[in-house]
Structure 1
Amino acid sequence: MPTALAVPLAVADTARIATLGHTADRLTIRWSDGRESPYPAIWLADNRPDRRDRPEGQRLFDAIDLPDGIAIRTAVLAADGTVEIDLAGFETPARFSAAWLRAHALDPASRTERRRRPVLWDSSLALPTDDYAAVAGDDAARAAWLRRAYDHGFALLRGVPTEPGTVCKVVELFGFVRETNYGRLFDVVAVDKPQNLAFTAIGLGNHTDNPYRDPVPQLQLLHCLEAAAEGGESVVVDGFAAAERLRREAPDAFALLTRRAVPFRYVEPGQIDLRSRAPLIELDAEGELAAVRYNNRSIAPLDLDPDEVEAFYDAYRRFGRLLHDPDLTVGFRLAPGDLFIVDNQRVLHGRRGFSAGRRWLQGCYTDKDGLTSTLFSLEATR
């Protein structure tokens, strides 16, 4: 363990430093709340603030250019509250703010706090709803709406003007429209000779859109211009909540769905033949949920070892039943001027069939980086 050096308490933006200690290869900070955070010497050298073009900006050198034999010679708490570290191989000490060190600490608790923790939900969800005029005219309201969409993978806007094309203007509040073969935007309305079952009046099971693309569109927005007099209710379900329930109740089935890629395909003869292979449940490097794909209309014949087919179908069907379980799904009726956004890699949406009147939605796709960039920038300035 490093030798602790008693130092004055320093007030930082997020925590106060109680003590500093170091060996040649590691700095250790004990914070006033009792947390202890280690910082390896080479990591400190790679993150020197004077080697960036601006705070949190781009590095001015490559890690391969770091000198060999990096070691901590001294580490002290300066009068201005920064931590001054003299590293072998560098001519001048590096100065780190206490707030920056706390925000990027490598102890397990700090690393866990930085990971995204989606808010899982079921049929008891109170619909996360905001007003379009407020969101369009006020940064705090826009941040609150984006935060709901980010945390839940789903959010509603009321009072959106019913002028055709407005859905694209809503995207411009945080990002850019992703154009596909359906165009910048598409109409979801019953037509006489549909190429896609979405353009009919029949009910649609819960699904994610376009799993046959690589990459899939990450966010979808649907804006109601006209509502059917009877039927046509929208349905959403948190695919992550369903997947976590499957993980708890049937871990072998969950693991099988994460290990095996399945083929998806969409064809318009002579014009389009889109294909992709991916697992129904995708995990990140740490075993956390990264994406869910489910679309019974677009899944192609499974390409599996014959001895695994029965077990896979058991897992696939069990997951599908969870994705349509009334205890997990939320139904709501869109009125003209209502718009919802879904994380297309997490939240499935569907609709009930309709028979009376015309139901007209306009939709478009966009990517998550626009939403997250705008959200984090707005929150950082509040």
Structure 2
Amino acid sequence: MGNVMIEAGGAYLALETGMGRQRFHAVWLRDNAWDAETRAPGNGQRLIALRDISPDIRIEAAEIAGTDLNVTFAPECKTISYDLNWLEVHAYDRPTLTETGWTAPGIEVWDGRLMANVPVANFGAVSGNVEAKRDWLAKVARYGFGKLTGGPVTPGALFKVVELFGYVRETNYGRHFEVRTEVNPTNLAYTGLGLQAHTDNPYRDPVPTVQVLYCLESSAAGGENMVVDGFAAALRLREENPDWFDVLTKYCARFEYAGEKGVRLRSRRPMIELSPDGELIAVRFNNRSAAAITDVPFDDMATYYAAYRRLGEIIDDPAMEVTFRLNPGECFIVDNTRVLHARKGYSGSGTRWLQGCYADKDGLLSTLAALEHRMPEAAE
């Protein structure tokens, strides 16, 4: 059942249940009411603004009734019911996290040992079965990447992959780009050279948050794809040397691209990005697109470069990588704010043709959340 107590003259209440003691401010409760006058019944959007809530709001009465908490507010003289389970899920009276670099629930960092359990699904299955799509998208959200097999071997098939969860993000490269050897290429991705693990387009702000690479031809020797968990690399750096981790989160790097006429892209962001409360939210790492670093004070520059070098060494460590070969009709998708991807060098004999495009993670996470809401028994 539980108990509820009004405290501080009604400024907040304390709710005691089997899950412990939680406090909720009057203004927070009123702002998060779900009655029909506060929220639109169809979409749940607020019908009032904060200015419509009295700055003198207080809790006049509160009681538990079954699975609900009924709260009466003054000076409105309005009583609103709150679901106790909803309050438990959204409770904010908890210890503050003090360690920087924590990751959100549902994120699982990994290294090369994930090779035995690469998140993979069949294109036909995820296209025709909502449970299969939900399970695959859940793995992509957890690990930051996923592979699809059994897709059509036709140009533009990558768009069907994006349609599973969202929309193509068009850039100066177009709706998609070709990855195969070219003469006088505008980008090193179009050569047979091996590429260091990197995140794409760090010179954009915001970066494309999802990338899809789809294989159409693959008879050249080599060219295997690799992925590295940038979050795992950043956390390994933090374990080895907290000061080096801190310097890469404290100062901005600069990135730029000017390989085409009329295009000059620039960004200024940390290589390891944290939210204000210390959550690890993004990694940007791409030495090919790195500009001169000018935002680090002289006294910290040597430390910054030592940290930058070590992060690169960790990323290059074979123990961190998952490697796989893409055959025609196969593709992989990466969270471009977290997972770095790379390619081993390939020979000039035979052919290697991939098509790539960008999309955005909000669409993927929205699709996943809608599927999980529809089927709450979603697989872990």
TM-score normalised per structure 2 = 0.91
Q: Is the 8 A contact 1:266 1:298 kept in 2?
A: yes
Q: Which residue of 1 aligns with 2:111?
A: 122
Worse overlay, 302-311 or 219-228 = 302-311
Could you tell me how far 1:109 is from its partner in structure 2?
7.2
The alignment covers a number of residue pairs equal to 364
Q: 1:143 aligns with which of 102, 112, 134?
A: 134
Could you tell me how far 1:119 is from its partner in structure 2?
0.4
Instruction: Say which SS state the counterpart of residue 108 (structure 1) adopts.
Output: coil
Deviation per residue, 1:167-189 (Å, 9 max, x gap): 11111111110000111111111
Worse overlay, 19-28 or 273-282 = 19-28
Could you tell me how far 1:166 is from its partner in structure 2?
1.1
d(CA) in 1 for partners of 2:362 and 2:208? 12
Deviation per residue, 1:247-305 (Å, 9 max, x gap): 11111111111111111111125331111111111111111211101111111122244
Amino acid at match of 1:40: H
Regions of 4+ moved over 4 Å? 109-115
Q: Which residue of 2 aligns with 1:177?
A: 168
Is 1:158 the counterpart of 2:145 in the alignment?
no
Amino acid at match of 1:103: V
Amino acid at match of 1:297: R
Q: 1:359 aligns with which of 348, 352, 356?
A: 352
Q: Which residue of 2 aligns with 1:37?
A: 22
Q: Is the 8 A contact 1:68 1:89 kept in 2?
A: no
d(CA) in 1 for partners of 2:21 and 2:226? 46
Amino acid at match of 1:54: P
Is 1:343 the counterpart of 2:335 in the alignment?
yes
Could you tell me how far 1:310 is from its partner in structure 2?
2.2
d(CA) in 1 for partners of 2:189 and 2:310? 25
Deviation per residue, 1:96-125 (Å, 9 max, x gap): 122221221123279999943410000000
Instruction: Say which SS state the counterpart of residue 113 (structure 2) adopts.
Output: coil
Q: Is the 8 A contact 1:164 1:225 kept in 2?
A: yes
Q: Which residue of 2 aligns with 1:65?
A: 52
Instruction: Say which SS state the counterpart of residue 231 (structure 1) adopts.
Output: coil
Worse overlay, 171-180 or 109-118 = 109-118
Q: 1:14-93 maps to which residues of 2 (within 5 A)? A: 18-23=2-7, 24-32=10-18, 34-50=19-35, 51-54=38-41, 57-78=44-65, 81-93=67-79
Q: CA RMSD in A?
A: 2.0
Instruction: Say which SS state the counterpart of residue 221 (structure 1) adopts.
Output: strand
| Identical positions, percent | 46
Q: 1:280 aligns with which of 263, 271, 289?
A: 271
d(CA) in 2 for partners of 1:259 and 1:109? 24
Q: 1:99 aligns with which of 78, 85, 102?
A: 85
Change (3 A) 1:254 1:294: same
Amino acid at match of 2:44: G
Q: Which residue of 2 aligns with 1:377?
A: 370
d(CA) in 1 for partners of 2:103 and 2:155? 40
Q: Structure 2: where are the runs of 5+ without partners?
A: 376-380
Q: 1:232 aligns with which of 223, 228, 231?
A: 223
d(CA) in 2 for partners of 1:76 and 1:111? 31
d(CA) in 2 for partners of 1:37 and 1:301? 49
Q: Is the 8 A contact 1:105 1:111 kept in 2?
A: no
Could you tell me how far 1:35 is from its partner in structure 2?
2.4
TM-score normalised per structure 1 = 0.91
Instruction: Say which SS state the counterpart of residue 136 (structure 1) adopts.
Output: helix
Q: Which residue of 2 aligns with 1:330?
A: 322
Q: Which residue of 2 aligns with 1:12?
A: none
Q: Is the 8 A contact 1:235 1:351 kept in 2?
A: yes
Change (3 A) 1:363 1:94: same
Could you tell me how far 1:21 is from its partner in structure 2?
2.8
Deviation per residue, 1:323-355 (Å, 9 max, x gap): 111111111111111111101111000000111
Q: Which residue of 2 aligns with 1:368?
A: 361
Change (3 A) 1:269 1:154: closer
Could you tell me how far 1:365 is from its partner in structure 2?
0.3
